[in-house]
Amino acid sequence: MKTKGTGQPQETEPVKLPPPETAGGLSLMQALQERHSTRTFSGTPLPPQLLSNLLWAAGGVNRPDAGLRTAPSAHDWREIDVYVTTAEGAYRYAPPTHMLMRLDGAVSGDIRYLTGVQDFVPTAPVNLVYVADLDRMGEAGTEDKAFYSASDAGFIAQNVYLYCASVGLAVVVRGLVDRDALGTALALGRHQRIILTQSVGYPADDAS
């Protein structure tokens, strides 16, 4: 991992994801029944199709006419960016194009270990990072920005929990993270705040 810490990540090389599969999985009520946190992962990478489905569930566009998302956001600010860290590198998910924007220049390599402080964190093939861009939140005051960005990230995290429950993936949302270290690694600016992180992968006893 190398960082420049300049406050502005360079985004290069968009990575096209397969279109999300929006059918299948457990019913909503079954997924609610199955939803739980897991902290052991097999380490097997997620195939592109599952990553595509996961990110669409997290906050993809479900009403293309208006660009609206699978997760609600206060005032439709859409201020939460989903960053994706894997063994290959770090990316920002771009919902309008359903692409991954590779962070380059400021960030390279595997920074999964920086997305949490618990030992299992780097063993999960995907660690999502929910980053609020406070500049998108209009004239809201500091307290409102903190409240609404935390709420909005929570909806995304629950979407991810339910998607994972519906297809049998292991997942845990996390607030324990060194935000300064991770923010530096992601070259975040002063207007950006890390809210939560979330580990996703196959459960340890199912390496298929």
Ligand X SMILES: Cc1cc2nc3c(=O)[nH]c(=O)nc-3n(C[C@H](O)[C@H](O)[C@H](O)COP(=O)(O)O)c2cc1C
Residues that bind ligand X (CB under 6 A): 36-37, 39, 118, 172-176, 196
Give least dist CB 116 to ligand X, A: 7
What are the φ and ψ backbone dihedral angles of 61, each rounded to 5 degrees? -85, 120
170 or 185: CB nearest ligand X: 170
Give least dist CB 157 to ligand X, A: 7
103 or 177: CB nearest ligand X: 177
CB 76 within 8 A of CB 152: no
15 or 146: CB nearest ligand X: 146
92 or 174: CB nearest ligand X: 174
Give least dist CB 91 to ligand X, A: 22
CA proximity to 13, closest of 103, 145, 105: 103
Give least dist CB 46 to ligand X, A: 20
Residue 164, C-beta contacts closer than 8 angstroms, at least 6 positions apart: 35, 54, 170, 171, 200
17 or 83: CB nearest ligand X: 83
Give least dist CB 196 to ligand X, A: 6
Q: Tell me the pairing of strands 90-94 and 99-104.
A: antiparallel
- State the Cα–Cα distance between residues 59 and 175, nearest whole angstrom: 19
3-class SS at 15?
Answer: strand
Cα within 13 Å of Cα(51), Cβ side: 24
